Amino acid sequence: MSYRAAFRVWRGDADGGDLRDYTVEANEGEVVLDIIHRLQATQAPDLAVRWNCKAGKCGSCSAEINGRPRLMCMTRMSTFAPDEVVTVTPMRAFPVIRDLVTDVSFNYVKAREIESFTPPPDLAPGEYRMAQADVQRSQEFRKCIECFLCQNVCHVVRDHEENKDAYAGPRFLMRIAELEMHPLDTADRRDAAQTEHGLGLCNITKCCTEVCPEGIHITDNALIPMKERVADRRYDPVVWLGTRLFRRRREDH
């Protein structure tokens, strides 16, 4: 079945823009990205859109469809009634470059700020051995395709540009949790998670988990366990005593 789909697409650049209406052919089995490509091929050759795999694996085609952060290539047209207007806008938390393409470099900055995997110094590459049971939990986080939809939806930065410096966002707090749970990682990441990467700003609203196209339980399996580890350290009586003794010893000198 073929029909004429009503699309409303944001057109513009860093200086501003607006929503434009288009009517585009849609066919059975197609996804939103197919319609955007047809629009580009037939009516709007200068429409900017980022995509690579069209299979939900590269994480490039992130946008907001009827206000919900989604991958365009994984959103079936059958989700919408044939007479429904489908509105496609760029991700809101990142600066627009043009049309549906945003500048996601904030995420690469945050990735670089995380201390890298730190294996024991006496192990050479090739000697790493881990039991499956020990990597079971963090393996889920490796499914991330870096679409940044979770980063885009988290209210801590979505409406608060001023929080971006202090907050790594769910994808990268999850990365810290992944390394913290890694059996061969020797770094203690708990203080840095709280003081440098803003873990305390996450108030577990779970919007990140709701939009993750990989179905990763970001909040329940990464962020909450990480918060628990930080709390354990802060309120651990041994750590508390150690800090007091250390402070007293410094005061004595």
Pick from 223, 226, 227, 229 the residue near ligand F3S by CB under 6 A. 223
The residue range among 58-66, 167-175, 182-190, 222-230 that interacts with ligand FES, by the rule CB under 6 A, is 58-66
Neighbouring-strand partners of residue 18: 11
The residue range among 2-10, 67-75, 89-97, 203-211 that interacts with ligand F3S, by the rule CB under 6 A, is 203-211
Q: What angle do CA 155, 156, 161 make, to 5 degrees?
A: 105
Pick from 61, 93, 96, 149 the residue near ligand SF4 by CB under 6 A. 149
Closest CA to 148 of 206, 198, 91, 84: 91
CB-neighbour burial class of residue 58 (10 A; exposed 0-12, middle 13-18, buried 19+): middle
Q: Does 143 bind ligand FES (CB under 6 A)?
A: no
The residue range among 45-53, 109-117, 140-148, 239-247 that interacts with ligand SF4, by the rule CB under 6 A, is 140-148
Q: Does 208 bind ligand F3S (CB under 6 A)?
A: yes
Query: Based on CB atoms, which residue is closest to ligand FES, 64 or 185?
Result: 64
C-alpha–C-alpha distance, residues 227 and 141, integer Å: 16
Contact status, residue 61 vs residue 33, Cβ threshold 8 Å: yes
Query: Based on CB atoms, which residue is closest to ligand F3S, 7 or 106?
Result: 106
Q: Does 226 bind ligand SF4 (CB under 6 A)?
A: no
Q: Give kind and range of the element (H or E) at residue 87.
A: strand 85-89
Total residues at interface with ligand F3S (CB under 6 A) = 12
Neighbouring-strand partners of residue 16: 13
Q: Does 73 bind ligand FES (CB under 6 A)?
A: yes
Whose tokens are 């590459």? That residue is 125
Query: Based on CB atoms, which residue is closest to ligand SF4, 196 or 214?
Result: 214
Pairing of strands 85-89, 62-65: antiparallel
Contact residues for ligand F3S (CB under 6 A)? 154, 156, 170, 202-208, 219, 223
